[in-house]
Amino acid sequence: MADHSLNDMAAGQRASNDPPKMEARNVDVFYGAKQAIKNVSIDVGMENVTAFIGPSGCGKSTFLRTLNRMNDTVSSARVTGEITLDGDDIYSPEMDVVQLRARVGMVFQKPNPFPKSIYENVAYGPRIHGLASGKADMDAIVEKSLRRAGLWDEVKDRLSESGTAMSGGQQQRLCIARAIAVEPEVILMDEPCSALDPIATAKIEELIHELRGRYAIVIVTHNMQQAARVSQRTAFFHLGTLVEYGDTSEIFTNPRETRTKDYITGRYG
């Protein structure tokens, strides 16, 4: 990353007074001998939605997955550098990975509800993490999570129906409700709308607006308009490097790097 963008980043964070929720420093990711992420440093703040953009294969999903150690599930993957959550190294041996993934939740490209009822999809996480003290408490968690995900009114009379029987857009909001139910601090979304129609997409974007501030949100998207609509900070990745990171309005109207400009104006991708 160029020095000026690091300085801007620091200035942006100083304005908020709070330290960044997550800090990544000099992160490299290898799959076997192949390096997919090269020396990426970035801060993710609570107050912003951060968009990751860049051409296919540039490492957006790989880097996103380093933020909650989902790469641990890929045997060839090796991560070096430092990533902290509230100042704690998430790759330290003391870090409880199950707990980490509750604090840093993930929503995938393809909605993946469990083949269980709508209620159970949301209740599952709170149950395994022991967050509910009884049935009434669990009911309240399920309702609150579904409300926050903008789904309650559509499903309140069919909570026992299968989560997989809903529309794609509803399934994706159910997956967001499932992530929210364990009270995460960060929500990572990897192209959450790419399998959805424009109406369902608009609902997810609206939801992201509503969730902003309550959770630190990172969204990977190929859709430039979506990045411009939902995010306040944008990171442009290219060939495994973070080329530019700054305010979304700046990145889209006045990018500093030629490669960023070429990408956002559709010259390659």
Ligand X SMILES: Nc1ncnc2c1ncn2[C@@H]1O[C@H](COP(=O)(O)OP(=O)(O)OP(=O)(O)O)[C@@H](O)[C@H]1O
The closest of 200, 222, 231, 21 to 105, measured between CA atoms, is 21
Dihedral through CA 78, CA 172, CA 105, CA 112, nearest 10? Answer: -50
The verdict on 145 binding Mg ion (CB under 5 A) reads no
Q: Smaller CB distance to ligand X: residue 109 or 164?
A: 109
Among 56-64, 111-119, 167-175, 180-188, the segment contacting ligand X (CB under 6 A)? 56-64
**Residue from the set 74, 95, 128, 165 that interacts with ligand X by CB under 6 A:** 74
Q: Mark residues 101-130: x for contact with ligand X by CB under 6 A, - for none.
A: ------------------------------
Contacts of the segment 8-13: beta carbons below 8 A, 24+ positions apart: 8/246, 8/247, 9/42, 9/43, 9/245, 9/246, 12/45, 12/233, 12/246, 12/247, 13/43, 13/45
Query: Which of ligand X, Mg ion, none does 259 bind, CB closer than 5 to 8 A by kind?
Result: none
Q: Contact between 242 and ligand X (CB under 6 A)? A: no
**Helices (H), ranges, 42-117:** 60-66, 97-103
Residue 57 within binding range of ligand X, rule CB under 6 A: yes
In contact, 232 and 48? CB cutoff 8 Å: yes
What DSSP string describes 143-180?
Answer: HHHHHHTT-HHHHTT-TTSBGGGS-HHHHHHHHHHHHH
∠ at Cα 236 (62, 72), nearest 5°? 10
- 234 touches ligand X by CB under 6 A: no
21 Rama sector, left if φ>0, alpha if ψ -120 to 50, beta otherwise = alpha
Closest to 174 in 3D by CA, of 185, 163, 184: 163
When asked if residue 231 is in the footprint of Mg ion (CB under 5 A), the reply is: no
> Is 61 one of the binding residues for Mg ion (CB under 5 A)?
yes
Contact 227/53 with Cβ under 8 angstroms? yes
Q: Which stretch binds Mg ion (CB under 5 A): 28-36, 58-66, 130-138, 162-170?
A: 58-66
Interaction of residue 61 with ligand X, rule CB under 6 A: yes
Number of residues that bind ligand X (CB under 6 A): 12
| Segment lying near ligand X (by CB under 6 A), choices 20-28, 51-59, 168-176, 223-231 | 51-59
71 binds Mg ion (CB under 5 A): no
CA distances from 53 to 161, 238, 239 (A): 36, 9, 12
Token readout for 158 is 């069919």
Nearer to ligand X, 60 or 203 (CB): 60
Residue 74: contacted member of Mg ion, ligand X, none (CB under 5 to 8 Å, by partner type): ligand X
Amino acid type, 159: L
Comparing CB distances to Mg ion, the nearer of 58 and 182 is 58
The listed partner (Mg ion, ligand X, none) that binds 165, CB under 5 to 8 Å by sort, is: none
What mask, x for binding ligand X by CB under 6 A, covers residues 3 to 42?
A: ----------------------------x----x------
Task: Based on the shown chain and the rule CB under 6 A, indicate whether residue 56 belongs to the binding site for ligand X.
Answer: yes
Which spans of this chain sit near ligand X (rule: CB under 6 A)? 31, 36, 54, 56-62, 74, 76
Which spans of this chain sit near Mg ion (rule: CB under 5 A)? 61
